[in-house]
Amino acid sequence: MKLTRRGFTRLCGGAVVANGLLHSWPMEADVAGGTSPLTSKTLTELSDMIHAKQVTSTQLVKAFLERMNAINPKVNAIVTVMGREALAQAEVLDAEQKAGKFRGPLHGIPLALKDNIDTAGTRTTAASPMFKDRIPTEDAAIVAKLKKSGAIIIAKANLHEFAIGCTGDISYFGPARNPWALDHITGGSSSGSAASLAAYLVPGALGTDTGGSIRCPSAWCGTVGLMPTIGLVSIRGIIPCRASADHCGPMARTVEDVALMLGQMAGYDPLDIYSVPSTPVDYVKEMHQPVKTLRIGTPQSYYDHVDPEIDAAVKAALEVLKGLTAGVTSEAPLWEGLIGDTTGEQEEYHHELIEKYGINYMGPDRTRFAAMENPAPGTRFATAMESVKAHEQLATTRRMIDSHFTNFDVVVVPTTPMQAGKINDSLAQQNRSGPPTGKVYNWFETGGGCTNTRAFDLFGVPAISLPCGFTKAGLPIGLMIAAPHFQEGRVLALAYAYQQATDWHKRVPTLTAETPVPPIIEGAPAPGAGGGRTPAAPAAAPAPGEEKPGATEKPS
């Protein structure tokens, strides 16, 4: 297969305009698109095939590149294809495979990285015009670690600009689309990571999570995403959202795939000030631990203001979990003290960027940071003293939270209280004058998209989202399980037990190279979605053949 620059650029272009939408699904063995059956395998299955010498790394890379070529124009999940680099990595790994030498369970497995994770020599943009030509000189620590373990970095995934958003549709490259309904948002900010998994473009991906950015898109795209304990995975070399709450974690289509990935990602990084010492853990083994004695907590506030269809699906999931465990033993009162959300890290980082590059953001962030740099009279910002106190409150919260797990071992809640909205409505809301009115766009307000996820980032404890049902319209619903610090094994074990008892993870969106793509029309919101002016269009995606920033291979 010849992989040309023009072909790659066309692959990563902006939204394709067409009409129509399909909601039905086949089971997982029937992934369509005229591509290799290898792309329908789970990461764990591919790992087993590599180690049994039933397939080579090169064959895997070519299969997924072909799948991207056919399907990515529909979902706009991948913004940079690293085909040349991936094939070069695969050649080395194939030689090692032939010699019977394997670096680990990820040997030869193609992965996508959220495009705020640095890759040496390949652009890393944070989906912002600010960084459209940014080419790092060093790999992020996690990238170097994954490469050493034999993983192949095949692509960079779309995201909500600078990871500041729950919807996933504000991007220099255009919105990522939900593979289950192409006119709907994916959730954010790890939008492209989740969409690329749901569309079977890659078997595994990395995301980052500061307020729900791994778990929300996992819930809305019907995939599995784990936010590990704060500091368990290095964030050095990742463009920050809010460093003290930033997590990097694995995303895949099954719990066992996430467990396998985490084992190759966790580890202390002495050069990352947020990294914490940890003992190596076999998370796949931990995933198989018994769950019969686990006690479930269901904090009531996380069940308030939940969409009725989501509420019904989560409560049905709880009935399954009750039969697998010791049942629901507590309403799980969690820490409700001051969490410390005014640390000033985001403002400091972006102030330095603006001094260097100007206010060169997409519309919503441009408005936000312009107001930060040129505040209206009477505007008050957090003082240095308040920032210090916020950090102290955050540290206190993290020290106290484990002690709240007394009459329960895990908490189980809806990942997000809201169904995924439509892209056109979302863009209209976020680009309107004045604050958005739809709850899904007021991310952290009561009943908003990231209401249930945010606190766990600040707690710094592990939390996973996995599919637990579908709405009447065919959109996925996510279930979140969380536990105390460093109890990833407990979280994975319960998630795996639930997955084994259900088949939600086996469902696949109907998505082929012929699937029509609804147009993006950023006009007035639909009735009931709020009013406002017609928003400005986002920056257009690069035209085919354009070198800057449209080149999708490493610049020569």
* Length of the chain as a residue count: 556
Q: What is the pLDDT of residue 10?
A: 35
Run of H or E including 413 = strand 410-414
Q: What is the pLDDT of residue 441?
A: 53
Mean pLDDT confidence for 10-39: 43
Which one, of 118, 115, 97, lies nearest residue 46 by Cα? 97
Provide the 8-state DSSP code for 154.
E
* pLDDT of 359 higher than 50: yes
Instruction: Kindly report, residue by residue over 518-546, the tens digit of the pLDDT.
Output: 999 864 333 333 322 222 333 333 332 23
* 332 within 8 A of 408, measured Cβ to Cβ: yes
* 360 within 8 A of 350, measured Cβ to Cβ: no
* 456 within 8 A of 463, measured Cβ to Cβ: yes
Q: Mind giving me the DSSP string for 467-485?
A: EEEE-TTS-EEEEEEE-ST
Q: What is the pLDDT of residue 379?
A: 82
Cβ partners under 8 Å of residue 395, min gap 6:
none
* pLDDT of 106 higher than 80: yes
Instruction: Kindly report, residue by residue over 306-348, the tens digit of the pLDDT.
Output: 999 999 999 999 999 999 999 999 999 887 665 656 678 998 9
Q: What is the pLDDT of residue 33?
A: 53
Catalytic residue among 189, 218, 426, 465: 189
Q: Residue 83: pLDDT band by 50, 70, 90 thresholds?
A: very high
Q: Are strands 296-297 and 328-330 parallel, antiparallel or unpaired?
A: parallel
Which one, of 239, 213, 236, lies nearest residue 226 by Cα? 213
Q: Residue 385: pLDDT band by 50, 70, 90 thresholds?
A: confident
Catalytic residue among 213, 218, 275, 426: 213
Percent of the chain with pLDDT strictly greater than 90? 75
3-class SS letters over 431-496: HCCCCCCCCCCCCCCCCCCCCCCHHHHHHCCCEEEEEEEECCCCCEEEEEEECCCCCHHHHHHHHH
Cβ neighbours of 293 (radius 10 Å): 8
Q: What is the pLDDT of residue 333?
A: 87
Rg from Cα positions in the chain: 22
Handedness of CA 348, 351, 353, 359 (dihedral sign): positive
Instruction: Kindly report, residue by residue over 168-202, the tens digit of the pLDDT.
Output: 999 999 999 999 999 999 999 999 999 999 999 99
The string over 323-338, giving b where at least 16 C-beta atoms fall within 10 Å of a residue's C-beta and e elsewhere, is ebbeebebebebbeee
Instruction: Kindly report, residue by residue over 403-456, the tens digit of the pLDDT.
Output: 999 999 999 999 999 999 999 999 988 887 665 555 545 555 666 789 999 999
How many angstroms separate the most distant Cα atoms in the chain?
69
Mean pLDDT confidence for 500-511: 97
Provide the 8-state DSSP code for 420.
-
Provide the 8-state DSSP code for 241.
S
Q: What is the pLDDT of residue 82?
A: 98
Catalytic residue among 62, 74, 114, 439: 114
pTM of the predicted structure, to 2 decimals:
0.88
Q: What is the pLDDT of residue 342?
A: 64
Percent of the chain with pLDDT strictly greater than 70? 83
Q: Are strands 152-157 and 110-114 parallel, antiparallel or unpaired?
A: parallel
* 211 within 8 A of 166, measured Cβ to Cβ: yes
CA 5 to centroid of chain Cα atoms: 27
Q: What is the pLDDT of residue 276?
A: 97
Q: What is the pLDDT of residue 256?
A: 98
Q: What is the pLDDT of residue 443?
A: 59
If you search the block for the tokens 């009561």, which residue do you land on? 446
Cβ partners under 8 Å of residue 519, min gap 6:
15, 17, 18, 19
Cα distance between residue 485 and residue 463, in whole Å = 10
Cβ neighbours of 149 (radius 10 Å): 17
- Known catalytic residue: 189? yes
Domains of the chain are 5-336+399-506 (3.90.1300.10)
* 326 within 8 A of 377, measured Cβ to Cβ: no
Cβ partners under 8 Å of residue 48, min gap 6:
none
Instruction: Kindly report, residue by residue over 212-255, the tens digit of the pLDDT.
Output: 999 999 999 999 999 999 999 999 999 999 999 999 999 999 99
Query: 345 versus 86: which is more confidently predicted?
Result: 86
- Known catalytic residue: 114? yes
**Average of per-residue pLDDT values in the chain:** 86
Q: What is the pLDDT of residue 54?
A: 98
- Known catalytic residue: 315? no
* 462 within 8 A of 494, measured Cβ to Cβ: no
Per the DSSP assignment, residues forming a β-bridge with 111 are 153, 204
